[in-house]
Amino acid sequence: MRTTVGIIGAGPAGLLLARLLHSAGIASVVLEGRDRGHVEGRQRAGILEQGTVDVLRAAGAGERLDREGLRHDGIELRFAGRRHRVDFPGLTGGRSVWVYAQTEVCKDLIALQLAEGGPLLFEAPALAVEDAATDRPRVRFRQGGQGGTEDVLECDYVVGCDGFWGVARRAVPAGSARVFERTYPYGWLGILADAPPSHHELVYARHDRGFALLSMRSPSVSRLYLQVPEGTDAGEWADEEIWDELTRRFETGDGWTLERGPVTQKSVTPMRSYVHEPMRHGRLFLAGDAAHIVPPTGAKGLNLAVGDVVTLARALVHERDTGSATLLDAYSATCLRRVWQAERFSYDMTGLLHRAPGATPFEDRIQLARLERIASCRAAETDLAEAYTGFPFG
């Protein structure tokens, strides 16, 4: 097999890149290791920045998003029994965010790709990227699921959109890259519940017992998260215990109550900050979670993936149209500016709202003082609102 751009991974990064390239008349092949049902069912991100929504619309993937997505003009910070609303449009000159699940973004992009785009192969795991530093990079992959046959995809460029656990990054020799990493001594226990959201906007709660987040998937489905110790097994928590703990952490002084309902999914996500620099090796480019991870507190991961592939698609089109590799050469540095701002914001939001094991009373007071500052100082609040609603794409 031969194509212009070989894309490894059909998450949001790989699918959107394929779509953008197809619209520009550049051929690509997408290799996805898992089956379609798995990719479409994986519960992950919920928040899209305005810039991400604009990109999806321009790519022709905005129809259902416009019908079913929920525009949110703010979030609530909850701490010490208090509630403080952050008004996004008022603080940012009109910006908002959208609640539209990653599962739905992927379903829409997969349907478009299968109807109009180039090949998208499911159950076709990449095994290795070879000759990345030459003019003829190749992806060795397996076709036909377990026990299938090995094949080779020859490309002009390979893009690793294969997430944090993928194989693309391994093709970069250790001496050619620098990795920046931080792990956190806690994770998120997430549930999906058939219960109407108990608040019309997201609630980020800081509590002495730990962080909690109220989010949603639709007017009848809630998505909720609890900070739990690192290494927690979701099976350790009975559904009623989860609801009781959420109720405690969201407590207010004004009679607000948390709506309960049947829990339909339950899992634990570890927390990590990670950046691989540069995001390129020869003709191999890394995009999305393959290149960087943020803890989910800032709701930035998918939005960063979108920024990367928009920047890369623009650079590939520029190279095709002008013969100039200037934008391709700038790809990594262009993306990393935005990536590090998202890393900084996600790290700050995580530290602002989570309770580290062994936190001292002094640290608790500092955390509360930071929240008080956001709630009482427009400049501090604006800083949060600008970062949450999104940094401009390169």
Cα of 361 vs its chain's centroid, Å: 33
- Binder among 8, 39, 47, 306 for ligand PHB (CB under 6 A): 47
CA angle centred on 179, ends 174 and 182, rounded to 5°: 140
Nearer to ligand PHB, 28 or 297 (CB): 297
46 binds ligand PHB (CB under 6 A): yes
Question: Considering CB distances under 5 to 8 angstroms, the limit depending on partner class, which of ligand PHB, ligand RFL, none binds residue 303?
Answer: ligand RFL
CA angle centred on 102, ends 101 and 107, rounded to 5°: 100
Active site positions, annotated: 72, 204, 296, 300, 388
Least separation in angstroms between residue 304's CB and ligand RFL is 7
Strands laid side by side in the 263-277 sheet: 82-87, 74-79, 202-206, 212-218, 221-229, 178-193, 263-277, 292-293
Question: Considering CB distances under 5 to 8 angstroms, the limit depending on partner class, which of ligand PHB, ligand RFL, none binds residue 223?
Answer: ligand PHB
3 binds ligand PHB (CB under 6 A): no
Mask 207-236, x = binds ligand PHB (CB under 6 A)?
Answer: --------x-------x-------------
Orientation angle between helical segments 378-389 and 326-353, nearest 10 degrees: 130
Question: Considering CB distances under 5 to 8 angstroms, the limit depending on partner class, which of ligand PHB, ligand RFL, none binds residue 289?
Answer: ligand RFL
What is the token pair recorded at 169?
């990054």
Question: Considering CB distances under 5 to 8 angstroms, the limit depending on partner class, which of ligand PHB, ligand RFL, none binds residue 297?
Answer: ligand PHB
Nearer to ligand PHB, 127 or 234 (CB): 234
The DSSP secondary structure of 104-173, one letter per residue, reads: HHHHHHHHHHHHHSS-EESS--EEEEE-TTSSS-EEEEEESSTT-EEEEEEEEEEEE---TT-SGGGGS-
Nearer to ligand RFL, 32 or 201 (CB): 32
Contact 30, 120 (CB under 8 A): yes
Residues that bind ligand RFL (CB under 6 A): 8-14, 31-34, 39, 44-47, 102, 125-126, 161-163, 166-167, 188, 190, 269, 288-289, 296, 299-303, 305
Burial 176-210 (b: 16+ CB within 10 A, else e): eeeeeeeebebbbbbbbbebebbbebbbbbbbeeb
296 binds ligand PHB (CB under 6 A): yes
Enumerate binding residues for ligand PHB (CB under 6 A).
45-47, 202, 215, 223, 296-297, 299
